[in-house]
């Protein structure tokens, strides 16, 4: 949002600068055009003055020729006549933009032509009568510009054109002054706006630099906190490793210390039964059997706890593992443990491959298939099936049986150590197998869950992360 605001302000500033540039260009263009028209008017006035001067030259040369009959003066007269008409044509072109001037020019031409005709009469008479004197009337026609038109002389006719041009010059001078003032005003406003934008740009740039400095300082603080956190994690990891080593040593110590008195109890109870069994009544022998069963169950619990501890401590080594082959191997061991039972294992004949630790997966399958084998002990036609199917992002593996099953309201207790849904008299067990399986699946970043129904079997599903 902040970046969008900066981008919008930048676009607005560019548009305003472009508008200022356009206004400045427009003012300068108007000023230049006004100056051009002013120069054009001055050029027209100069041409008019030049036209009057050429007429005066023609008159002067003609008078000289009439008095002296000098051929040089005649040539000067003829050259002046040619320049008069060239200059008149030039004035006509310069005033093409003014209809009023174009309307005046025919009368001016007529007056110039009349004046030049009167002069030409004198010149031609002198050529015809080189030695005779001209009559006073002839001289009056030649010498006086007011002979036929009174006060409407050639100078007056051209002055009419000059008067219009002077009026235009005055108006165009005012336009030049106005355009100059407008150009100065536009330049001042544009300069002020540009300075304002520069000040605003430096202001926001300063704020941006301050914000960046603040972010840099925060990043440095975060890096320092991360370094401190990493140091704390290393310390906690070292403490946890030390604690695990101490716990491992304690577990082995406890298991060996517990096994010694168990072996003593089991040995002496066996000796008591063998040496004095015939002297005890049935109740006494039953007590000895109960003592030995309790000792053996205690030994099984110790083994299960040690296995659970090893599963947590051992390193995880993933490799391509055929779970179907592992399942067939575990099934063969289970059948060998109780060959009298009629159990049908349905395991795919083709490989079911996964990236997993084969040692840990064998323990997991031993627990899951062992549970299925155990809880189908009272099922006449027991069927245990292992398979897999593609799930949402990962393959799902399952072990299904048609045994005792369980009530789904207690499903959350299945994977908790020492939590059992069936009594020890119905199905033997330590209550640690599924807890061990849960740890193995979690170490593979997988998930495990179960579905079941009482007396209709159970299905355990699990996935293995990548």
- What pTM did the predictor assign? 0.49
What is the reported pLDDT for 245?
76
What is the enclosing helix (H) or strand (E) of 346? strand 343-346
What is the reported pLDDT for 70?
84
Q: How far does CA 240 lie from the centroid of its chain?
A: 44
**Cβ(33)–Cβ(183) under 8 Å?**
no
Tell which phi-psi region holds residue 405, choosing left (phi > 0), alpha (psi between -120 and 50) or beta: left
**Cβ(342)–Cβ(382) under 8 Å?**
yes
373 in helix, strand or coil? helix
- Find where tokens 């706890």 sit: 305
How many other C-beta atoms are found inside a 10 Å radius of the C-beta of residue 372?
Answer: 27
CA gap 167, 157 in Å, rounded: 16
CA gap 175, 41 in Å, rounded: 13
Q: Dihedral, CA atoms, 144, 147, 148, 153, nearest 10 degrees?
A: 40
What is the reported pLDDT for 347?
94
CA gap 155, 390 in Å, rounded: 115
**Cβ(383)–Cβ(347) under 8 Å?**
no
What is the reported pLDDT for 422?
67
Q: What are phi and psi for residue 398, nearest 5 degrees?
A: -145, 155
CA gap 152, 108 in Å, rounded: 10
- Residues of the chain below pLDDT 50: none
How many other C-beta atoms are found inside a 10 Å radius of the C-beta of residue 105?
Answer: 17
pLDDT 10s digits, 79-114: 999 999 999 999 999 999 889 889 989 988 988 888
What is the reported pLDDT for 20?
77
Residues above pLDDT 90, as percent of the chain: 28
pLDDT 10s digits, 369-395: 998 998 898 888 899 999 999 988 889
Q: How is residue 44 written in tokens?
A: 């027209």
> Pairing between strand 353-356 and 319-322?
antiparallel
């Amino acid at each position: 949002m902040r970046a969008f605001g900066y981008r919008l302000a930048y676009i607005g500033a560019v548009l305003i600068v472009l508008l200022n540039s356009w206004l400045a260009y427009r003012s300068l263009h108007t000023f230049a055009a006004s100056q051009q028209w002013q120069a054009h008017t001055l050029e027209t006035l100069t041409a008019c003055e030049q036209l009057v001067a050429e007429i005066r030259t023609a008159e002067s040369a003609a008078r000289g020729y009439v008095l002296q009959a000098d051929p040089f003066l005649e040539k000067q007269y003829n050259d002046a006549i040619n320049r008069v008409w060239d200059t008149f044509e030039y004035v006509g072109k310069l005033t093409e933009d003014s209809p009023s001037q174009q309307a005046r020019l025919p009368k001016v031409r007529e007056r110039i032509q009349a004046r030049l005709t009167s002069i030409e009469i004198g010149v031609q008479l002198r050529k015809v009568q080189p030695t005779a004197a001209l009559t006073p009337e002839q001289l009056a026609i030649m010498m006086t510009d007011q002979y036929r038109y009174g006060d409407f002389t050639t100078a007056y006719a051209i002055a009419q054109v000059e008067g219009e041009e002077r009026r235009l010059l005055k108006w165009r001078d005012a336009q030049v002054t106005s355009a100059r003032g407008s150009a100065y005003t536009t330049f001042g406003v544009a300069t002020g706006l540009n300075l304002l934008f520069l000040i605003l740009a430096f202001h926001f740039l300063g704020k941006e630099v301050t914000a960046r400095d603040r972010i840099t300082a925060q990043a440095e603080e975060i890096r320092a906190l991360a370094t401190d956190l990493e140091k704390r994690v290393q310390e906690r990891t070292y403490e946890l490793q030390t604690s695990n080593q101490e716990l491992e040593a304690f577990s082995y110590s406890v298991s060996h210390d517990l096994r010694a008195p168990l072996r003593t109890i089991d040995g002496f109870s066996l000796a008591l039964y063998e040496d004095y069994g015939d002297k005890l009544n049935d109740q006494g022998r039953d007590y000895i059997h109960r003592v030995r069963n309790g000792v053996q169950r205690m030994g099984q619990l110790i083994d299960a706890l040690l296995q659970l501890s090893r599963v947590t401590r051992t390193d995880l080594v993933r490799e391509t593992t055929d779970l179907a082959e592992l399942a067939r191997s575990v099934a063969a061991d289970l059948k060998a443990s109780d060959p009298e039972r009629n159990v049908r294992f349905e395991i795919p004949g083709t490989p079911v491959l996964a990236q997993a630790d084969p040692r840990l997966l064998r323990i997991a399958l031993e627990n899951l298939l062992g549970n299925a084998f155990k809880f189908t002990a009272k099922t006449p036609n027991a069927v245990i099936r292992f398979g897999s199917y593609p799930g949402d992002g990962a393959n799902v593996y399952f072990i299904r049986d048609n045994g005792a099953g369980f009530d789904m309201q207690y499903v959350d207790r299945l994977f908790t150590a020492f939590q059992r849904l069936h009594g020890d008299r119905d199905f033997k067990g330590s209550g640690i197998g599924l807890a061990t399986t849960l740890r193995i699946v979690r170490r593979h970043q997988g998930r495990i869950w179960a579905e079941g129904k009482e007396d209709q079997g159970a299905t355990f599903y699990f996935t293995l992360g990548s």
